[in-house]
Amino acid sequence: MKRIISTPHAPVAVGPYSQAVEVNDTLYISGQLPINPATAKIEAADIAGQTDQVFKNITAILQAAGYNLDDVVKNRVYLSDIANFAAMNEVYKQYFKSDFPARAAFAVKDLPLGALVEIETVAVKSE
């Protein structure tokens, strides 16, 4: 059974998609931009601040669905500039300290709203 996840503690979708969808104890979180849900704006100008905001949004969605960061099995990181890879990693490792999820990270031509980073996540319910 499919369950749509939505929380006011993460930004509303900027298009026709859900914040997350849960199917069979697996949570698929749509790509999260560094939008502060309180202001509906990208406030951080640098990659570190934007990556931190993205993970705050992901964490809020995980919590709304009854998951946590330990349940994350895969992240896909989109960067507007691959030169930001190392700085993104510095923030990333603050959220994942061991038993790291699988991950892909690559540069794309542009991201919505001029963001520097977007991350989509898959989590599986722990037993």
- Take residue 119 and report the two structure tokens written for it: 């991350």
Q: Where are the domains of the chain?
A: 2-124
Specify the CATH superfamily of domain 2-124: RutC-like (3.30.1330.40)
Do 57 and 39 contact (CB within 8 A), yes or no? no
Do 34 and 53 contact (CB within 8 A), yes or no? yes
| DSSP code, position 83 | G
**Distance in angstroms (rounded) separating the CA atoms of residues 24 and 114:** 34
Residues 62-95 as b or e (16 or more Cβ within 10 Å = b): bebbebebebbeebebbbbeeebeebbeebbeeb
> What is the number of alpha carbons within 13 Å of residue 29 lying toward its C-beta?
38
pLDDT in tens, the chain (127 residues): 899 999 999 999 878 999 999 999 999 999 999 999 999 999 999 999 999 999 999 999 999 999 999 999 999 999 999 999 999 999 999 999 999 999 999 999 999 999 999 999 999 997 6
